[in-house]
Amino acid sequence: PKLLDAIIQASKIDKKLLAVLIDPEKFSAEKYAYFIENLTESVTHIFVGGSTATAKESEVCVGFIKAKTNLPVILFPGDKEQVTEKADGILLLSLLSGRNPEYLIEQHIKAVPKLLNSRLEIIPTGYLLLDGGNQSAVARVSKTKPMRQSEITLIKNTALAGQMMGKQLIYLEAGSGALIPVSEEIITEVKKYLNIPLIVGGGIKNSKQLEKAYKAGADLVVIGTAFENGEFEG
Ligand code: 1GP
């Protein structure tokens, strides 16, 4: 598993990773050609996904990105419809913070026919939605409640349960456009117990917040909105 191995190796030597998240629903070739060709050097991955993007939108978006960059393109799908062979890999997300079977196992079962004969690298990922101070699309679409950021022990134990169940990555998510990113305290506490790489995203808008997340223990940070709006200076 090349993609996962590279993430593990980077985390071992403390080389921090940065993914730009592109939502296929907001994608247009005119807007994104320049954007993709001018990413800062610190960007190591492109994630593609959104809460409500369609199959066609996802395929067009990934195809376009693959033609423009050699960075690994990893699906971060909000729905099985977004699975496209054109990407390099997929975070197969289990929404461990929620109790909706649709996002714990059902979507995955429905995705199998597409995944079975694809060359996508499948990366089992425990996905925890935390409260980012506003209503997130993930909460709305998945019909699940985010975990309160004050519930640090529960968050840590949920992440660890994911690891014990065989997840290869843990993703702490405050939701796209979160007002409050995942706290440093949570990142540090989860990272302390985890021996798989930790991804953090949601509401990170500038290099100061990015550095804080890294320092606290995030191995890979995901930034969507701030890149989209041209606010992130790298
Ligand atoms: C959302 O974690 C990502 O799934 C990124 O969030 O759009 O707030 O950067 P932002």
Tally Cβ neighbours within 10 Å of residue 116. Answer: 7
Domains, the chain, ranges and CATH? 2-228 (3.20.20.390)
User: Taking Cα atoms as reference points, which of 118, 136, 146, 127 lies closest to residue 62?
Assistant: 118
User: Is pLDDT at 213 greater than 70 in this prediction?
Assistant: yes
Three-class SS state of 46? strand
| CA-based nearest residue to 95, from 176, 153, 162 | 162
* Average pLDDT over every residue of 122-131: 98
Whether ligand 1 lies within 6 angstroms of the CB of 177 is answered as: yes
Residue-wise pLDDT for 89-115, tens only, equals 999 999 999 999 999 999 999 999 999
What is the tens place of the pLDDT at every residue in 34-47? 899 999 999 999 99
pLDDT of the residue at 99: 98
Number of H helices, E strands in the chain: 10, 8
pLDDT band at 233 (very low <50, low <70, confident <90, very high): low
226 lines ligand 1 (CB under 6 A): yes
- ipTM, interface predicted TM-score of the complex: 0.98
Between CA 137 and CA 51 the distance in angstroms is: 6
From the CB of 201, is ligand 1 less than 6 Å away? yes
Distance 142 CA to ligand 1 centre (A): 16
31 — pLDDT class (breaks 50, 70, 90): confident
